[in-house]
Structure 1
Amino acid sequence: MKSNIPVAITIALLSSLAFAATLPAPAVCIPGTETIISTKAFDGKDLIESRCQMVETYLTSRNTAVEASKKLKARNRNLCGAPCTTYCNSGNGGPNPNDCSSLASSVQNNGGLNLAAGWTYYYNWGSCQAYIVNTSSESQYECMDQGSFGGVVNYLAWNCQGNSNGGPYLGGSCHWYDNTGIGWIQVQTS
């Protein structure tokens, strides 16, 4: 009598790989660089924290703003509580603001996050995807509390619900120091 255990293990492994390959990644990611950092169950859904390396087109703006960033270098290393300018994307819908609030609450007590230069860190929970983009040429630090990342995610989710048909991104973004050469936080439908 043959055992079906090896077959069951193979199916489970392939299923988990298929799930990882279908995770929605932001458009800024170089295909194949997505890495799942952690997953945890929160209110019956999986909170997935991932990261990826950014495509060159998103880094071009930083190359043209090198002189300006040298003047702001010391100030921009720590983005905790840094001012950001909100941009809402056109479209109708967007993520469920309650999902985004749950996402923000689940990460807000995790201290902070070191953002490697040229990388994006993103979180998926329910209908909400929130990500942090570092387009600068140096590492940055962002706090995850309501005064920084958590608060921005909540604000964008509740205030950037589109009202007209638009592109694939529904939600909004907040650009640090109103400068995409530094980076931004984006909230959209996962």
Structure 2
Amino acid sequence: MRLSLNPLAFGTAFALALCTSAALIGSGPAAACEGRTTLAQSYVGANKDVKAEYVYCANDLRSDVSTSTGAGSDIFARQNDVCGAACTTYCWTPSGGGPDPNDCTVIQDALLYDSENTGPLFSLDPATNTSMIVMTYNTCQTYILDQTNSSLTYCRSDWATLVNYIAFNCQATQNAHGGVCVADDQRWYIQVQHS
């Protein structure tokens, strides 16, 4: 018997399993980008209709984990490929004012398209003043923020999975209006909100 796996479906299921996201109601520990400056902007996806911004944050975004022992050690700092890394989802209360999940699906599709046509990986690098990448389509905005002093590499397909998960699971029916998935090691987070 030959087993045929759809790589996209398997990757999506794998990323969801790794997220360990119970869609907790509340707010997660995450830094905010202050003094935000857009360094570059383009339109991505098959239809070039999703705005992508590469952003510099003026403030120090390092989370407490970067200075602790163990997680902040030299070995840990060198492990900058965080594809498949676990994160915990927090939904924001109360309900009302969240993004249209269908608009978030357009961003998800753009990320998957770019994963296949541009490459599966992308990097965030504070050394080149790019700590944050923002994607916007209509009512939906998502971004990923590197909270370390070192570069991080992440997968477009994982980001796409999280955008879809947060958009559909942090809505009015869950008494929420968007949310965030914070990496278990606190080095990065992905947020989905109303634009």
TM-score, with length taken from structure 1: 0.70
- AA partner of residue 109 (structure 1): Y
Paired residues of 2:71 and 2:185 also in contact (CA < 8 A): no
| Residue in 1 that maps onto 2:179 | 172
1:32-111 to 2 correspondence within 5 Å?
33-40=37-44, 46-56=49-59, 58-59=61-62, 61=64, 64-65=67-68, 68-70=71-73, 72-75=76-79, 77-93=80-96, 94-110=98-114, 111=120
Tell whether 2:194 aligns with 1:184.
no
CA pair 179-41 structure 1, distance change in 2 beyond 3 A: closer
Paired residues of 1:132 and 1:183 also in contact (CA < 8 A): yes
| Residue in 2 that maps onto 1:161 | 171
TM-score, with length taken from structure 2: 0.68
Paired residues of 2:141 and 2:194 also in contact (CA < 8 A): yes
Deviation at 1:59, TM superposition (A): 3.2
CA pair 131-67 structure 1, distance change in 2 beyond 3 A: same
RMSD of aligned Cα (Å): 2.7
Counterpart of 2:160 in 1: which secondary structure? helix
CA pair 98-55 structure 1, distance change in 2 beyond 3 A: same
Whose RCO is larger (CA < 8 A, sep 6+)? 2
Give runs of ≥4 in structure 1 deviating > 3 Å: 40-43, 57-67, 162-165
- AA partner of residue 154 (structure 1): N
Structure 2: gaps of 5 or more residues: 1-31, 115-119
CA pair 28-137 structure 1, distance change in 2 beyond 3 A: same
Percent identical across equivalent pairs?
Answer: 29
Deviation at 1:102, TM superposition (A): 1.1
Distance 2:68 2:149 in 1: 10
